[in-house]
Chains A and B, each alone.
Chain A
């Protein structure tokens, strides 16, 4: 059974760095073709893709946010970590992690429940 769960602070102050952890089970990120992505959704707005890390430790970032994002993985702990620097109130959103299974192309077949992050002083 595949599950993903996001964890991190619910509230951060402007200019601070956000660190989110995606803890997953039911698959291994060392399996060829497997990937994990981060996606966010501001309240009442659309989904926005942020970053992806694959089984080979290749990393990909949203063009508009790449200077602020870092994605990493700890295969032994089944975790993927996303950091976002210089947080601003416009970054207030629910942040999701999701799996891209091997051989699927790019579809996100399992999602975490999401974690709401509010940026406010």
Chain B
């Protein structure tokens, strides 16, 4: 059971908008720790998608955006494309565990 909770799967048609939630608690996201998002294409290593809640690294399309509020964070993907089909993970720090924590991952299917 992951400390950060994500939906196991989401889906959307090409061109649509989807959001992936990441729910934490008062010892991680709610304590003000930053949330980062990673995209993992099948058979590859995770790739940083969003850093520090809402920052897009160079090269990441602006179709991807992140936000954080209270004890939760969200990743939004607009204009869905077939190449977005992947696993997505959120990541933060937990003060009660004194270490990094990940969400359980969300598989995005593009219909």
- CB of B39 to closest CB in A, whole Å: 11
- B45 lies within 8 A of A113 (CB): yes
- B51 lies within 8 A of A52 (CB): no
- A47 lies within 8 A of B36 (CB): no
- B98 lies within 8 A of A60 (CB): yes
Enumerate chain A residues within 8 angstroms of B38, measured Cβ to Cβ: 47, 108
Q: Which residues of B come within 8 Å of A, CB atoms?
A: 2, 33-34, 36, 38, 44-48, 51-52, 57, 89, 91-93, 97-105
In the complex, the chain B residue whose C-beta lies closest to that of A37 is B100
- A46 lies within 8 A of B36 (CB): no
Number of interface residues of A (CB under 8 A): 23
- CB of A78 to closest CB in B, whole Å: 19
Enumerate chain A residues within 8 angstroms of B98, measured Cβ to Cβ: 60, 63
- A63 lies within 8 A of B48 (CB): no
CB < 8 Å: which of B45, B51, B103 contacts A46?
B103
In the complex, the chain B residue whose C-beta lies closest to that of A64 is B97
- A49 lies within 8 A of B99 (CB): yes
In the complex, the chain B residue whose C-beta lies closest to that of A101 is B51
Enumerate chain B residues within 8 angstroms of A62, measured Cβ to Cβ: 97, 99
Enumerate chain B residues within 8 angstroms of A108, measured Cβ to Cβ: 36, 38, 46, 48, 91
10 inter-chain pairs at a CB distance below 8 angstroms, sorted by A residue, are A46-B102, A46-B103, A62-B97, A105-B34, A105-B51, A106-B93, A108-B48, A108-B91, A111-B47, A113-B44
Enumerate chain B residues within 8 angstroms of A47, measured Cβ to Cβ: 38, 46, 89, 91, 102, 105
